Structure 1
Amino acid sequence: MKLHLALILFFIATSSLSLANEPNVRFRRIPKEDLKQTSHPLDPEAEAAILYQSCRRSITYNRSVGFQLRTRLHQRIKIYTQDGQSWGDFDIPYSKDAQFARFRAYTYNLEDGKEVEIRLNNRDIYTEDVSQFTNLRRFAMPGVVAGSIIDIDYEIVEPARSSFQPFIKQHTIPVDYSEYIVDIPEYFIFNRSTKGLPLIMDIQNSEYNEGETFIDSSGNSYRVTFKVSRDNYIAHNVPALRPEPFVPSMSNYQSAITYELSELHPPHSRTISFSRTWGDIVRSLMEDRNFGGQITTRIRETESFLAEITDLPEIERIEKIYYYVRDNHEWNGNYGELAQNGVRNLLSERTGNIGDINLLLLNMLKSSNIDAKPVVMSSRNNGFLNLAHPTYQQLNYLIIAIQREENMMLLDATDKNMLVGYLPLRALNLDGILIESSNSGKRIEIENPNKGSKQTIAIIQLNDDLTINCTARLTYLNHSSIVKRSQIRSHQNEEEYIKSLMDKHPSIDITSYNVEGLKDISNQVVETFEFTSNGYIEQIGDMLYISPLLLWQTDESPFKSEKREFAVFYPDAGIETYLITFQTPEGYKIESTPQPVQMILPENIGSMLYNISISDNTIQIHYRYIRNETIVSPSNYEYLRDFMIHKIEKQNERIVLRKI
């Protein structure tokens, strides 16, 4: 499901503007030729396209409430394929002190040559409380099929007192026309910047005068004429930014325009500075009752537990506290560096957001005389932290850091399958701000601690009827054990998990299965199972062609692009080892086997070893794949892509037996 978090980012000013080359687009006036269109003229593979988006934002003055930010959007989306129907699902985040001044949305289809209009009903619009400051308007457009056009127009009004959310110019589908118009009174000073990949735009800047009557603190009114700056950003035929595998968030690379509020100079009033350092933000967080207040509050409910472990070594106390918090509390799915309900409510209700759970963890660690510190950051799906422009809006996550000798241990107790010292994928995002004191913070690198190993030992018996019997033992260690536990526990029971394996590999029939370590707090999970199969041997005349890696063979490389402009971010590093032994049937001799090979990537990124040994009627394959680095730079992408191609080619080479 592609949820349009970006929709709120397209801001529209209320003043009128006539632009050269602007399409003549009116809301609810859909050209029939657009409805008839079956594919995008410049991108035939596109599942959908944004035909038009007009985004205007203005700051205006209201005598009752002061300066207001008015946001208006008109967006028209064409759906081409069944996969593109997910572009009819919307999530619009907005601040809790904002109001929708207008909201209209329609779906258009062509039925028997006639246009059919379907209105979004108000009862199908849902509001969700996602954080202390943000609500979410969620809805799915009615009647969306391949060929539909969606037309949406809305306006949001809210206090003008913060930076603008980035305006996203580029999406994962093509954009035919996009305009972004910003009107700012001279009293507001913004720092403008761009981020993401470069994009060709027509940028126009102008000024005009505006008059308004202001009322001072004494109730006196006066007329003021002031300048308004207008920025126009126009783009035509913006190509789709295709999603790539192993990317934290495509928003890191989408072309975007940012406005950071620096100062406010209201008439006849003192200047207000909005410029922030990370120290300012740290100070504010530590003074906030939903952050610093949660760290220092006394929690009587945990005192008896902490008393029981007080004499244990530090590392054992860390582990005991971590598993106490992890096992007794559920993450409710909400992000946030601040506590949503507070640690006291968390203890009674057993559920909370990221801030609730990890602030409880921090409180208990400190109460056990462990020098633990909070790290505020941006989650993986929220984009990289912009260290050069400190803002509260970037932060939505919290983990805990403990300096131990030369290494820093990072903790996150919000994942039931996570072991102490490892991090869930959502918490892996390059940088964080380590809070060292009540007014001091520093940048730290969130080094990926997730390293593991998987060892597969399999004995294969080839039968006369060209079927095989396999006995396999798979051992998962460290982070690999976490991944395997998560996979198995995501199913209702063991039978459902076994069925999923056979659905994934239709040619195997699992006849016995056992798993050890599933419920343990340990770094090891062991699977043993037996299966039969008729899918890995092909007979052509007197020859048998055997796929030696069986179901563990990789069929396709994830890296399709010839070149890549951004790094590869793997979720973990580690070693995969396979020892597979074949017993050949009587009446056959070995005709050929794959040649041994060793491949090594530059800068110690990774390597592969493939070796085969033969003894009488026994063939043993030793295959090892090592991934040392979790981040691969774009300069090494072509090496990685070629490595994966050769790795898969080697895996697909077959053992050949000849009938005697």
Structure 2
Amino acid sequence: MQFKFIPALLFAALSCYAASAQTPAKPKFSKFGKVDAAEFAVRAPGADSAAAAIKIFDVGSCYFDINPTSGGFAYVYERHLRYKINSKNAYDLANFEIGLYRNSGSSRETLDNMEAATYNLENGKVVSLKMGKDARFTENVDRSNSIKKYTLPNVKEGSIIEYKYSIKSDFIFTLRDWSFQAGYPTLYSEYTVTIPEYFRYKVMPTGFFPISIAKQENVNANYHIPGAGSVSTTAQYTKYVTENAPAIKTEAFITTLSDYTAKLEFELLATNFPGDYYRDYTGNWSKIVGELAADENFGGYVKPSGYTRNLATELVGSDTSAMNRTTRIFEHVKRSLKWNGHHRMYTSHTSIKTAFEKKTGNSADINLALATLLNDAKIPARAVLVSTRDNGAHPGYPMLSKFNNVVVQALVGKETYLLDATDPEHYPGMLATASLNHTGLRIGDTGAAWIPIEATAPARENYQYNLELSSENKLSGTLYHYNSGHKGVHRRNSYRQAASEPEFVKAFKADKPGLNILKYKVDALDSLQNPFVETMEVAIEEQVEEAGDLIYFNPLLFQRTKENPFTLEERKFPVDFAYPSEEVYRIVLTFPKNYTIEKTPKSQVFKLPDNTATFSFIFNQQDNQILITSKIAINKSMFSSDEYLDLKELFKNVVSKQAEQLVFKKI
């Protein structure tokens, strides 16, 4: 996207964000190569005091310039960062990568002025070693993307390393993000952005650590126009600052760490050049819908054609059932178009006919074809834009670039279903886990609306053992393994993708010592909406211990939860399970009549407020037979950080209760 310079004075305000009212921070960084001996003793505060590395500072700027070749605006991104290496675990910081992009035309990103060095303290003196020319590499990923790779020399425990570089980019629709947090603690981070008055950007903060605006003012800006000399105008200068930002660490049950990292993102909202009208690029959803309709890889792709009408008619025939018509089209698309593994919002083909001829495509190729065929079959269907879990949560306001996937919402009779034909194991109402990011944007003819994107049923896994304990303390019997919902999709995929059934069974046994599977069969493999059932005749060794006349046995066998997945004292992130779930374990055990029960686990039930999660452990005995049922139910997909300690306590009880043993005594 090129924007030609038209000299004049106009004012446009930059949208800004102030997460806290901290006082402006004093500069806490130095010039490249100027390393003080005192920096080798620097430590991170608090919980990060033992970190493998410390980012002493990370300072950057973004400002605009004129591309002398095109005469259009470009932005310049400069960055200077310095690390202290405390242990070998941080040696990977000596390897640094920078990604660059170029399109099929003349627009590109270029890397300039790369400097890097290692510093060590020897006999009280700072000794520096700059990066050599032989430590610089370029990897051309494809026609559009390349990666610059650098390796610093002589890095060891106690070293300080630093990088400084600048990037010039013609792609000003989105400016480069700035992260104030990283995998190591950051003592000081500063980012200054200078935006010419002709541009208005959305500034989008993420994360939980406060970002302060240390300074904001209008400044003079000068731009050199090839053949026209220098032109003066105004720009808005903003300085963002953080201090003592803790390391950001991955935790169980999150979407992507990027959602929780303190960072700023920038997307062009509008331009207002003199002699031109105000141009709104992403100002409202109606405008975005219009742009999608006009795009050949979205609106152009879904336009009805003779090909799709004929295909839809052929598939549904004279069937008048809305559900049957939907299922026939859905199954045909799943069979005919193989997903290439890429989540995309725009198609890679320009027509549905081409997609079916190629027999493959990205998620947009497949699901937009599905929507078109459903509409041709008189099943109202709409595209729904989604940001996948690894792409991060959408900020909620008009911003097309934050979506990366598309699914379908269809009105089938009086029921509404979400559809995703990228996986052969999917059925109406089942979306890939990657798409379960809680909200999606349904695209209408002239507008758009947010809709919930949630699993319609819990993912259920059920183990049922019918076993007999012999007088030799051997276990034998039948094991039934049921999986449904997202668990069923995963289990069916694993079964189909295994090299053979014996290899699949071998993988199942791998983490279950003493389990011997004598016979094995599956049921309901192709009945996708029913539980996937595995039936096994088993003999189990190594799970019963004998000490004198006492026999010890953990009735949870291989399904015991051994560790609490929640270990932090506090958590600032939500706990995101993606979907509700149920894990049920049931064992019916017949034991010898000359055994008595000395000790049994007690029945207990644990519940979170409003039954958002529960754990029950129920013990029953009748004569020489016992029945134990353990059930963990997570009844909603997301828990707030305020609910974290309740979840932690629940799983503490799970670990404790499932560890209890059953004790028999021979008589």
Q: TM-score range by the shorter chain?
A: 0.7 to 0.9
Give the deviation of 1:202 after TM superposition.
Answer: 6.5
CA contact (8 A) 1:167 1:256 kept: yes
Confirm whether residue 100 of structure 1 aligns to residue 110 of structure 2.
yes
Mapping of 1:300-315 within 5 angstroms?
300=307, 303-304=310-311, 306-312=313-319, 313-315=321-323
Give the deviation of 1:589 after TM superposition.
Answer: 1.4
Matched residue SS, 1:474: strand
Confirm whether residue 189 of structure 1 aligns to residue 200 of structure 2.
yes
Give the deviation of 1:294 after TM superposition.
Answer: 0.7
Confirm whether residue 600 of structure 1 aligns to residue 607 of structure 2.
yes
Q: Residues 31 and 462 from structure 1, CA distance in 2 versus in 1: closer, same or farther, beyond 3 angstroms?
A: farther
Q: Indicate the residue corresponding to 1:137 in structure 2.
A: 147
Confirm whether residue 373 of structure 1 aligns to residue 382 of structure 2.
yes
**Candidates 238, 244, 248, aligned match of 2:245:** 238
Q: Once structures 1 and 2 are overlaid, which stretch shifts more, 200-209 or 546-555?
A: 200-209
What is the one-letter code of the residue matched to 1:175?
A: T
Q: Deviations over 1:228-270 (max 9, x none)?
A: 3322223333101232221112222222234443443335554
CA contact (8 A) 1:126 1:139 kept: no
What is the one-letter code of the residue matched to 1:329?
A: L
Question: Structure 2-normalised TM-score?
Answer: 0.83
Q: Distance in 2 between matches of 1:646 and 1:621?
A: 16
What is the one-letter code of the residue matched to 1:248?
A: T
**Candidates 400, 410, 415, aligned match of 2:418:** 410
Q: Once structures 1 and 2 are overlaid, which stretch shifts more, 547-556 or 477-486?
A: 477-486
Q: Distance in 2 between matches of 1:355 and 1:243?
A: 30
Mapping of 1:69-468 within 5 angstroms?
69-76=75-82, 88=95, 90=97, 92=99, 94=101, 96=103, 97-102=107-112, 104=114, 125-128=139-142, 135=145, 137=147, 152-159=163-170, 161-192=172-203, 194-199=205-210, 201=212, 203-214=214-225, 221=228, 223-267=230-274, 269-274=276-281, 276-298=283-305, 300=307, 303-304=310-311, 306-312=313-319, 313-342=321-350, 343-387=352-396, 389-404=397-412, 407-437=415-445, 439-468=446-475
Q: Indicate the residue corresponding to 2:508 in structure 1.
A: 501
Q: Distance in 2 between matches of 1:143 and 1:65?
A: 40
Confirm whether residue 53 of structure 1 aligns to residue 58 of structure 2.
yes
Q: Residues 454 and 195 from structure 1, CA distance in 2 versus in 1: closer, same or farther, beyond 3 angstroms?
A: closer
Q: Distance in 2 between matches of 1:107 and 1:581?
A: 66
CA contact (8 A) 2:599 2:663 kept: yes
**Candidates 578, 591, 605, aligned match of 1:584:** 591
Q: Deviations over 1:5-38 (max 9, x none)?
A: xxxxxxxxxxxxxx943333527x8899989999
What is the one-letter code of the residue matched to 2:198?
A: Y
Confirm whether residue 22 of structure 1 aligns to residue 28 of structure 2.
yes
Give the deviation of 1:322 after TM superposition.
Answer: 1.6
Matched residue SS, 2:342: coil
What is the one-letter code of the residue matched to 1:67?
A: F
CA contact (8 A) 1:361 1:413 kept: yes
CA contact (8 A) 1:575 1:625 kept: yes
Matched residue SS, 2:347: coil
What is the one-letter code of the residue matched to 1:324?
A: H
Give the deviation of 1:378 after TM superposition.
Answer: 1.5
CA contact (8 A) 1:279 1:441 kept: yes
Q: Deviations over 1:42-65 (max 9, x none)?
A: 625545554442322111134542
Q: Distance in 1 between matches of 2:552 and 2:54?
A: 47
Q: Distance in 2 between matches of 1:91 and 1:127?
A: 12
CA contact (8 A) 2:282 2:288 kept: no
Give the deviation of 1:460 after TM superposition.
Answer: 2.4
Q: Distance in 2 between matches of 1:323 and 1:551?
A: 37
Q: Distance in 2 between matches of 1:74 and 1:320?
A: 58
Q: Distance in 1 between matches of 2:222 and 2:237?
A: 16
What is the one-letter code of the residue matched to 1:494?
A: E
Q: Deviations over 1:174-200 (max 9, x none)?
A: 223322121222333345453321325
Confirm whether residue 67 of structure 1 aligns to residue 77 of structure 2.
no
Q: Once structures 1 and 2 are overlaid, which stretch shifts more, 40-49 or 311-320?
A: 40-49
What is the one-letter code of the residue matched to 2:63?
A: S
CA contact (8 A) 1:191 1:262 kept: yes
- Pairs aligned (count): 631
CA contact (8 A) 2:183 2:248 kept: yes
Q: Residues 145 and 647 from structure 1, CA distance in 2 versus in 1: closer, same or farther, beyond 3 angstroms?
A: farther
Matched residue SS, 2:193: strand
Confirm whether residue 553 of structure 1 aligns to residue 567 of structure 2.
no
Give the deviation of 1:432 after TM superposition.
Answer: 1.6
Matched residue SS, 1:380: coil
Matched residue SS, 1:54: strand
Q: Deviations over 1:351-388 (max 9, x none)?
A: 2222111111112212222100111122211221222x
Q: Residues 556 and 93 from structure 1, CA distance in 2 versus in 1: closer, same or farther, beyond 3 angstroms?
A: farther
Give the deviation of 1:513 after TM superposition.
Answer: 2.7
Q: Once structures 1 and 2 are overlaid, which stretch shifts more, 66-75 or 643-652?
A: 66-75
Unaligned runs of 5+ in 2: 1-24
Matched residue SS, 1:658: strand
Q: Residues 605 and 648 from structure 1, CA distance in 2 versus in 1: closer, same or farther, beyond 3 angstroms?
A: same
Q: Distance in 2 between matches of 1:511 and 1:124?
A: 55
What is the one-letter code of the residue matched to 2:58?
A: Q
CA contact (8 A) 1:423 1:450 kept: no
Q: Indicate the residue corresponding to 1:11 in structure 2.
A: none
Q: Deviations over 1:204-223 (max 9, x none)?
A: 234543334558xxx8x475
CA contact (8 A) 1:120 1:141 kept: no
Q: Distance in 1 between matches of 2:512 and 2:88?
A: 26
CA contact (8 A) 1:310 1:368 kept: no
Q: Residues 556 and 306 from structure 1, CA distance in 2 versus in 1: closer, same or farther, beyond 3 angstroms?
A: farther
CA contact (8 A) 1:450 1:571 kept: no
Q: Deviations over 1:410-456 (max 9, x none)?
A: 1111123323320111111122211121x211121213225343332
**Alignment RMSD:** 3.7
What is the one-letter code of the residue matched to 1:55?
A: G
Q: Once structures 1 and 2 are overlaid, which stretch shifts more, 396-405 or 577-586?
A: 577-586
Q: Indicate the residue corresponding to 1:14 in structure 2.
A: none
What is the one-letter code of the residue matched to 1:100?
A: T
Matched residue SS, 1:590: strand
What is the one-letter code of the residue matched to 1:176?
A: L
Q: Once structures 1 and 2 are overlaid, which stretch shifts more, 201-210 or 478-487?
A: 201-210
Q: Distance in 2 between matches of 1:565 and 1:494?
A: 44
Q: Residues 255 and 550 from structure 1, CA distance in 2 versus in 1: closer, same or farther, beyond 3 angstroms?
A: same
Q: Once structures 1 and 2 are overlaid, which stretch shifts more, 306-315 or 197-206?
A: 197-206
Mapping of 1:6-45 within 5 angstroms?
20-24=26-30, 26=32, 43=48
Q: Identity of counterpart residues, as a percentage?
A: 24
CA contact (8 A) 1:202 1:235 kept: no
Question: Structure 1-normalised TM-score?
Answer: 0.84
